């Protein structure tokens, strides 16, 4: 029975090492992120920077609101998640969702101001 535990631990170690190597390979092969720029005909750099900052402030407000909502959800459902061992998964999901909503708010704001993405 003890030997069986050692065998499972060895198999688990090999699988973990393989997963780590796969993650590293994907990270190395992914390359640098593509940089996007927002452009609008007839707008100088100072105006573009001001508009980007304005939309970023709007996106930050959206993300802060979502994080507040997520805190309320966690306060309500956190015990259930803890009992089902899904707290980390739920937290990650809510973080991704709030980040996605903030990105969407920023992009919508820039488009509403007449900018288009390049790159």
pLDDT tops 80 at residue 2: no
pLDDT tops 60 at residue 105: yes
pTM confidence score: 0.66
The string over 51-64, giving b where at least 16 C-beta atoms fall within 10 Å of a residue's C-beta and e elsewhere, is bbeebeebbeebbe
Q: For residue 83, what pLDDT band results from cuts at 50, 70 and 90? A: confident
pLDDT tops 70 at residue 92: yes
């Amino acid at each position: 029975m003890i030997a069986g535990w050692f065998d499972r631990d060895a198999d688990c170690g090999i699988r973990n090492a393989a997963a780590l190597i796969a993650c590293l390979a994907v990270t190395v092969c992914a390359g640098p992120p593509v940089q996007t720029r927002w452009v609008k005909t007839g707008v100088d750099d100072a105006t573009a920077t001001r508009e980007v900052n304005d939309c970023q402030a709007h996106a930050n407000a959206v993300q802060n609101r979502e994080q507040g909502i997520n805190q309320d959800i966690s306060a309500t459902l956190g015990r259930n998640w803890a009992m089902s061992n899904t707290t980390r998964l739920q937290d990650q999901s809510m973080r991704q969702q709030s980040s996605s909503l903030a990105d969407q708010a920023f992009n919508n704001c820039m488009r509403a101001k007449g900018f288009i993405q390049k790159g």
